[in-house]
Amino acid sequence: MLKIEDINKNFGDLKALDHVSFDVSDGEILGLIGQNGAGKSTTFHSILNFLHYQGKITWNDQPITESVFDEIGYLPEERSLMPKLTVEQQITYLARLKNKPAKEIKPKIDDWLKKFAVKGSKKDKIKDLSKGNQQKVQLICTLIHEPKLVILDEPFSGLDPVNADLLKQAILETKKNGAAIIFSSHDMENVEELCDKLVMLRDGQIVLNGTVREVRASFGKTRIFVTTDKEITQLAQLPHVVAAKPLEEKRFELFLDDENAGKEVFAEVTDGQYIEEFSQQPPTLNEIFRQKAGKINE
């Protein structure tokens, strides 16, 4: 288990982290979200001992020192490959830094390239690969030594939806093998799809912490998705409906000021008759993010 207790970090007068505490269990994925500058990368760098900080960070109840670095896989936000090396040389070099011998890693490289659908061979130089394929090679470098703690800083950056799906499968496979995983992302769909828990930072402070379901439920079921023959003007005038938005033909999203009004709205919409859809839901993570942090900065 990764445990972070009351972490504080200042850069001059800037409070980058302010009493941050959370944990990530083995076989669990935590999404660390927040606007640019919220403190996500500073949190990662503190875990990895790149920075001096106040507070306590432990891995399996022990301080994170060089003796446990071999158990960690870290993907930085910035690409950090050596362009003149071949793919095989790059992967082998970084694996050896994790005390994995070349004779153990080299036989696995072809399978990992296939798993991530890397276009090119292990004999190609890094500089000759596309940016997307370089990103995938860096992900292989992060995971091939089978780390027990995985830290991914914006891992989906630069990946198209197909390649993002390949990464998701690799993350889920790593989770299945018992690793504790923490990653940051601006894409709330990825967070909602993959994460068991999430932590949201704003100005270095935690403003959300819990399971995805708990976080969404805490904002109330204030969204209704309905398929009906009624006009949008009629729907907008229903009790406790503060806005109505058309989605598709005859399908609408209604916004409530009180989740307890769902039954009353249901009765008004249906008039006692069958309708194809009436679903009351909490806000999406994307909507919650905007409420807590403002517009997403890409």
Same-domain check for residues 204 and 256 = no
- Boundary (domain end) residue, out of 217, 242, 272: 217
What DSSP string describes the chain? -EEEEEEEEEETTEEEEEEEEEEE-TT-EEEEE-STTSSHHHHHHHHTTSS--EEEEEETTEE--GGGGGGEEEE-SS----TTSBHHHHHHHHHHHTT--HHHHHHHHHHHHHHTT-SS-TTSBGGGS-HHHHHHHHHHHHHTT--SEEEEESTTTT--HHHHHHHHHHHHHHHHTT-EEEEE-S-HHHHHHH-SEEEEEETTEEEEEEEHHHHHHTT-S-EEEEE-SS-HHHHHTSTTEEEEEEEETTEEEEEES-GGGHHHHHHHHHTTS--SEEEEEPPPHHHHHHHHH-SPP-
Q: Are residues 55 and 33 in the same domain?
A: yes
- Clarify whether residues 272 and 186 are in a common domain: no
Q: Is residue 282 predicted with pLDDT exceeding 70? A: yes
Domain boundary, last residue among 217, 240, 263: 217
Tell me the percentage of the chain whose pLDDT exceeds 90.
Answer: 85
Confidence of residue 297 (pLDDT cuts 50, 70, 90): very low
pLDDT of residue 159: 83
Task: Tell whether 167 and 256 lie within a shared domain.
Answer: no
pLDDT digits over 139-198, tens only?
A: 999 999 999 999 999 998 878 889 899 999 999 999 999 999 999 998 899 999 999 999
The pLDDT tens digits of the residues spanning 64-96 come to 988 889 999 999 988 789 999 999 999 999 999
- Residue 80 has a pLDDT of 82
Q: How confident is the model at residue 294 (pLDDT cuts 50, 70, 90)?
A: low
Which pLDDT score is estimated for 198?
Answer: 95
Question: Residue 73: inside a domain, yes or no?
Answer: yes
* One domain, residues 83 and 210: yes
Structural domain including 19 reads: 2-217
What total number of domains does the chain contain?
Answer: 2
The answer as to whether 117 is a domain residue is yes
Q: Does 211 lie in the same domain as 170?
A: yes
Position 296 scores a pLDDT of: 41
Mean pLDDT of the chain: 93
Last residue of a domain, which of 217, 237, 263? 217
Q: What is the pLDDT of residue 90?
A: 96
What CATH number is given to the structural domain containing 17?
3.40.50.300
Within-domain flag for 90: yes
Please check whether residue 193 lies inside any domain of the structure.
yes
